[in-house]
Chains A and B, each alone.
Chain A
Amino acid sequence: MFDLDKWQEIFGTIRQNKLRTFLTAFGVFWGIFMLILLLGAGRGMQNGVGQEFADEAMNSVWVWQGKTSMPYQGMKAGREIRFTNEDLKLIANDLGDKTNMIAPRNNLFGEYTMNYKNKNGSYRVFGSVGEFFKLNGEKMVKGRNLNQKDIDEKRKVVVIGEKVRKTLFGDNEAIGEYINIKGVYFKVIGIFTTNQNQGRNEERAYIPFSTLQTVFNQLNQVHMFGMNAIDGVSAYEVENTIRKVLSTKYKFDPQDRQAIWLNNNEENFARFQGLFKGIETFVWFVGIGTLIAGIVGVSNIMLIIVKERTKEIGIRKAIGATPWSIVSLILQESIFITGFSGYMGMLLSIALLDSLRFLIESTGAELPYFTRPEVDTYVAVSATLILVLAGALAGLIPALKAANIKPIEALRAD
């Protein structure tokens, strides 16, 4: 299969036709380079928009307890519905894999004065779990989020909002310090930020859900909870399941809209999904356009090259070259050149994208709607292969034609 002599012949040709080789190689190189760069930039835009709208893009459902407004099965209206820990399990069970995050949240009624040394401020205190921030869109700026161990061991730890930190700690380090909430000391483990409610939601503190239930005497009470609907599952479907489970358990009319309060952001979510789809389509459109431009360019070069070599083909045929040996010579040379330069283009563009990403991440630069430019290796490799193949195919047809013309005609081509 590997014919050293043939490759020596090919390299001889390449060495002696530097300009032609360079032009072909550069055409392919540039095609791949631009294609991957554009795909990467497109993906960067996609990621950037995704990050910008991450909160809204979560397909979430929220449930609050309420008061029945309709009589049902002989019971009067006006009953208060109160959730328990068991309800969470029931709902999680019924939803199965339609959700992968359920986060309850309780709060201490009213605002509580928190003390740190001689500083104090009044803020709302909540008990929840780590997933809550993911559902609600809060982001950690320092330290860590609440984790399962905090919940399991009912640790006395707290995650505070940026505004709380500013008031209590000012320029001092907050992480690892203890603050006093209603007479109990909690260790600060993290600081979060959010722009919801004009940033007023930063004036909050979150302690583990189990800790709040135990320490502040809300055993087996759940005030509200949120969950997500995974991709492809409608939030309304999740809502209906919840309504069914809870109305059965607490015996209220499923039509009763006030027994429990449900809220979801399906419409918002759908809008942003549409935006993402739009960007993705645009990126692919640009990518395929570039690929076609590359194919046309490479094909053109191959056509011209074969034309230019007609005389050489005639000479080779006159001294005993078979048509196939000529076609394979031209084809192998073109595949070698396009393959090599395509690979280089791919390598260089990926390197450029990676260094760009590194630059953005290491400097922490916040470009609007642009983060993490990257490209799928699979996409990059297949794009390169398509271009190389197209080049080979474009060379094949005229090469076959040239190999079949009468040598005398080829020799008189000039």
Chain B
Amino acid sequence: MVVLQNIHKYYEVGANKLHVLKGLDMTIEQGELVSIMGSSGSGKSTLLNILGILDDYDSGTYLLNNTPMKQLSQTKAAYYRNQFIGFVFQSFNLLSFKNAMENVALPLYYQKVPRKQRNKIALEYLDRVGLKEWAEHSPNEMSGGQRQRVAIARALISKPKVILADEPTGALDTKTSEEVMEIFKEVNREEGITVIIVTHENDVAKQTQRIIKLKDGNIIS
């Protein structure tokens, strides 16, 4: 599903070139539940950006669903993001002026699904994360755990191949962290969606099938 071959990424900081990713090789099969760990500065955010087609890389090959992702136009990148990838963020990133249902339905708006239909689908996904009664509520009226579940429903609604979660439990307490992880596991188990979780919490990483450890731009295990 996700194949990285000899990925290099540089950042230009003033006159210097910062070598952030130093030739990563990595393969994640369809249906895997993987966590990526590393201290800050290890390059895991950069890796996540590249995996999410939010940033380009300098050399190497990245195949997503057997399609090479290299030097895509903004429009093309947006299309692949919408088709293949669902994002879950640490800070939820819900639109506060839309209610839960509208937030979940938003990816379908960009797939040109009619309003009524996408709201109906959004309700189904809210039901899956146990928040059907909260459909009309604004994210501001919800707890952190509930907001993250709404965000997961939003990530799932476009039926992605891969879910990329950036510190999804970073802002949650232990109990709600577990609830969120349960949802990830369930999605992975029942629908075979590849889930990649970036985290620095061992408790979270342990619940995944495989841990990829990053250090100074290299994979160490």
Contacts and interface: CB of A to CB of B under 8 A. Distances in A.
Contacts of B142: none
Contact of A16 (B79, B81, B98): B98
A334 to B, nearest CB: 16
A271 B55 CA distance: 70
Interface string B46-72: 000100101100000000000000000
A408 B54 contact: yes
Interface stretch (B28-36, B101-109, B201-209): B101-109
Contacts of B83: 320
Contacts of A153: none
Nearest to B84: A320
A322 B73 CA distance: 10
Interface stretch (A7-15, A239-247, A251-259, A375-383): A7-15
Contacts, number: 72
Contacts of A314: 93
B75 A324 contact: yes
Nearest to A311: B93
Interface stretch (B17-25, B110-118, B120-128, B178-186): B110-118
A322 B80 CA distance: 11
A312 interface: yes
A325 interface: yes
A13 B97 CA distance: 7
Contact of B82 (A16, A311, A319, A403): A319
B194 interface: no
B161 interface: no
B78 interface: yes
Interface string A1-28: 0000100110011001100000000000
A4 to B, nearest CB: 8
Range class of the A interface residue count: 20 to 34
Nearest to A319: B107
Given A5-B115, A16-B98, A319-B87, A408 B55 contact: yes
B191 to A, nearest CB: 19
Contacts of A322: 74-75, 78-79, 110
A302 B54 CA distance: 26
Nearest to A20: B97
Contacts of A360: none
Contacts of B79: 320, 322
Nearest to B97: A16
A406 interface: yes
Contacts of B91: 411, 414
Nearest to A13: B97
A319 B102 contact: no
A317 interface: yes
B75 A323 contact: yes
B110 A321 contact: yes
A15 to B, nearest CB: 8
Contacts of A321: 78, 110
Given A5-B114, A319-B106, A319-B107, A12 B54 contact: no
Contacts of A404: 74
A315 interface: yes
A364 B75 CA distance: 66
B95 A315 contact: yes
A49 to B, nearest CB: 53
B10 interface: no
A318 B87 contact: yes
B154 interface: yes
Given A5-B109, A411-B89, A319 B154 contact: yes
Interface string A124-135: 000000000000
A316 interface: yes
B107 A320 contact: yes
Q: Count chain A CB atoms within 10 A of each CB in B82, B95, B98, B102 and give the residue with the most.
A: B95
7 contacts: A5-B115, A16-B97, A318-B93, A319-B81, A320-B78, A320-B79, A322-B75
Interface of A: 5, 8-9, 12-13, 16-17, 311-312, 314-325, 403-404, 406-408, 411, 414
Given A320-B78, A406-B49, 16 more contacts: A5-B109, A8-B115, A12-B98, A315-B93, A316-B106, A318-B87, A319-B154, A320-B81, A320-B82, A320-B107, A320-B111, A321-B78, A403-B74, A404-B74, A408-B55, A411-B89
